[in-house]
Structure 1
Amino acid sequence: MKTPTLRLSLVTGTLTIALAAAFVIALSGPAEAQQAASAAPKPALTVKRVVAQQSTWPQTLAGTGSIAAWQEVVIGAEIGGQRLAALNVDVGDRVKKGQLLARLSPGTLEADLAASRAALLEAEASAREANLTANRVKTLQGSEALSPQAIDQALAADAAAQARVAAAKARVQADQLRLSYTQVTAPDDGVISARIATPGALVQPGQELFRLQRGGRLEWRAEVPGAELAQLKTGQLVRVQPSGAPPVEGRVRRVAPQVDAQTRNGLVYVDLKGGESLRAGLFARGDFVLGDSAALSLPQSAVLLRDGFSYVFRIDGSKVRQTKVQVGRREGTRVEVRSGLTAGAAVVESGVGFLADGDTVRVAQ
């Protein structure tokens, strides 16, 4: 039979062992739970599947430049010393060839013309008298009634009178021309792009009054690398995107024969189809359509830009594999894949920024 002291020692030892076991279990429980949690698979993301498509895309060459007037005409005063009496147009007005733009005060020009016309009448009267005398003298040639010297003088007076008539006519024409210069007219159809004239101002010969965009035509002066100019030809289609305006189409009119020695770029002149929102001076980017070529493309949302490289996520069963690709042209919402992928390859369509290589996904039907 055990003594009380031995029985107490056994109980105490049993309790100590139980507490130690409980303490060990308490310590090991969270670690095992963490391991179990880390070992559990991540929840699968639902993704959409898209297939790389082979199609024909236009082959283009990019350029940048400014929109300018095809030809801008400076309209100025051809006479001086007259005041500007009236202005009939303003900036932005469309005008026709010969339309009256401004009128100068005639001043003394009308009086000068009247005096020239009177001098012409006088010269014509003198010429008629001299001509009659010359005709009478001619009938007396070969007779003894007049000396040869008198006959020559009469004929010379007739010729001089005719010369004075011609000079008087020239003065009349000059005065008429000077008077017509008081009517400032449009040299061609177009749009008034600037108005410098001020009503009532005293104008000087050659002073600029207006600027006219001939025909209202605009052009895009694109800068293209000199090495690429050989690919461009007259008549090629160009798609131009001006800043702050809808895109427009144009045609190559002329390619510059030389390249700038500093920038190594050459100018290409592109005729544009005019639009209400198109303005001279706007900056524009554009693409010269060189032809068609095959292109393997994907939606832009399927391509991930990471660390300066482009990637897609190929669908491999229930997992995705990150694949590096090289992209090229863009057409609308699609981008060309030049390498790293084959036609028919299935990739994740969107949300690629939330994926990593080897993730488990659920493909939506």
Structure 2
Amino acid sequence: MRAFPRLLLVSSLTLSAVAAWAGPQVPVLTLGAQAVSTGYELDGVVEAVRQATVSAQATGRVSSLLVKVGDKVRAGQVLATIDDRDTQSGVARSQAQVAQAEAELANAQAHVQRTRDLRQQGFVSQAALDVAESQFKAAQAGRAGAGAGAQQARLAQSFTQVTAPFDGYVLETLAQAGDLAVPGKPVATVYAPQPLRVVVQVPASMGAQARSAKRIELQVGDAWVQPAAQQGVTAADPVSQTLTWKMDVPVQAAAQMMPGQQARVRFVGGTAQRMVVPQAAVLRRGELTGVYVAGDKGFVLKAVRLGAQHGDTVEVLAGLKAGDAVAVNAIQAGLTGAQPTK
């Protein structure tokens, strides 16, 4: 009689252990065709519409770089200076040539005036007056040439200062103090914060779908907005086989973006009937992509081929049929003893 409670206790422990070893109950979803959008989403890059890479226009060493990335600049502000000792010498030389030409012009003017007076009094010949007038005209031409040379020297001197073309911000610096500057070598990149655009590369195979899309939307934060304007290039890049689409960002939305930022672009098309499963139902292990389908003895892993994504769901192109009961959570369905439940 005393052994009966022990037997009951052992049976209770055994039943508890069996219950503890029971697999998880995993909800399933019965597949069927659903209406999904035929559009698709791509990643684009935010660019500034007004962006310029300023370059050196003179040869010499970069004396100083006066800005850094992120600095706000004004139109005409000096961004960098180039060693200008050579151009300073050119300015001084041209100024001396101007002074010499002015002195020669003053002398020629006085001489021609005296020659005219003497000609009126009959003391010199007409030939002497012609020579004096020719010398005066030559002196005038020499003064004009010296003035042009001085202007050119001052222009060359101005090229030793690299300035901002418009109001904006420094996106990138491409030179440092001590670097050798030559005409055409980039020094810095400046951009205006407004307006902005999103540039996306659309695969050439999807170009027809992009052109036939009902509308195009840009993701700004958690919201989707339509671009202020859009433009698609009809010719494909021969290397990447993509089409470039440019979309202007609305002013209010552009305040939340910056150049270089990634932006999601959605081409919204019509609707079509497709079989879709939740993203959590898909198991990806290396090259294997599959889902767990409910059977008589639990779950069976089946390989599938997936299509376009639609938010938290993804299209199933092959491997399943309508009516299959798919586990909504592939991780739980893969556990030992997992059982389907509706």
TM-score class normalised by the smaller sequence: 0.5 to 0.7
Superposition map of 1:143-182 within 5 A = 146-182=124-160
TM-score norm. by structure 1 comes to 0.56
Give the 3 Å change call, closer, same or farther, for CA 59–268 of structure 1 in structure 2. Answer: same
Contact 2:173 2:189 in 1 (8 A): yes
1:160 shift after superposition: 0.7
What letter is aligned with 2:189?
L
Give the 3 Å change call, closer, same or farther, for CA 230–46 of structure 1 in structure 2. Answer: closer
Superposition map of 1:106-117 within 5 A = 106-107=84-85, 109-110=87-88, 112-117=90-95
Output one character per residue of 1:65-121: Cα deviation in whole Å (capped at 9) or x when no partner: 8888876625235133xx544321123434333221123444364454344334324
What secondary structure does 2:95 align onto? helix
Superposition map of 1:1-365 within 5 A = 47=27, 57=37, 59-60=39-40, 62=42, 73=53, 75-76=55-56, 78-80=58-60, 84-107=62-85, 109-110=87-88, 112-131=90-109, 134=112, 146-188=124-166, 189-198=168-177, 201=178, 203-206=180-183, 208=185, 210-215=187-192, 220=199, 222=201, 224-225=203-204, 227-232=205-210, 237=216, 239=218, 253-255=231-233, 257-260=235-238, 265-270=241-246, 280=260, 287-294=265-272, 300=278, 328-335=307-314, 350-351=328-329, 354=333
What secondary structure does 2:162 align onto? strand
The alignment covers a number of residue pairs equal to: 300
For 2:139 and 2:283, locate their aligned partners in 1 and report how far apart those are by CA, in whole Å.
94
1:134 shift after superposition: 4.5
What letter is aligned with 1:158?
F
What secondary structure does 1:127 align onto? helix
What letter is aligned with 2:269?
G
Contact 1:85 1:104 in 2 (8 A): yes
What letter is aligned with 2:64?
A
For 1:196 and 1:44, locate their aligned partners in 2 and report how far apart those are by CA, in whole Å.
63
What letter is aligned with 2:58?
E
Contact 1:234 1:255 in 2 (8 A): no
Give the 3 Å change call, closer, same or farther, for CA 133–107 of structure 1 in structure 2. Answer: same
Contact 1:74 1:211 in 2 (8 A): yes
Give the 3 Å change call, closer, same or farther, for CA 331–154 of structure 1 in structure 2. Answer: same
What secondary structure does 1:187 align onto? coil
What secondary structure does 2:269 align onto? strand
What letter is aligned with 2:78?
L
Contact 1:197 1:209 in 2 (8 A): no
What secondary structure does 1:206 align onto? coil
What secondary structure does 1:165 align onto? helix
Contact 2:70 2:169 in 1 (8 A): no
Choose 1 or 2 for highest CA Rg: 1
Give the 3 Å change call, closer, same or farther, for CA 102–128 of structure 1 in structure 2. Answer: same
What letter is aligned with 1:193?
E
Relative contact order higher in (CA < 8 Å, ≥ 6 apart): 2
1:203 shift after superposition: 3.7
Q: Which runs of 5+ in 2 are unaligned?
A: 1-21, 295-302
Give the 3 Å change call, closer, same or farther, for CA 126–285 of structure 1 in structure 2. Answer: closer
For 1:185 and 1:264, locate their aligned partners in 2 and report how far apart those are by CA, in whole Å.
36
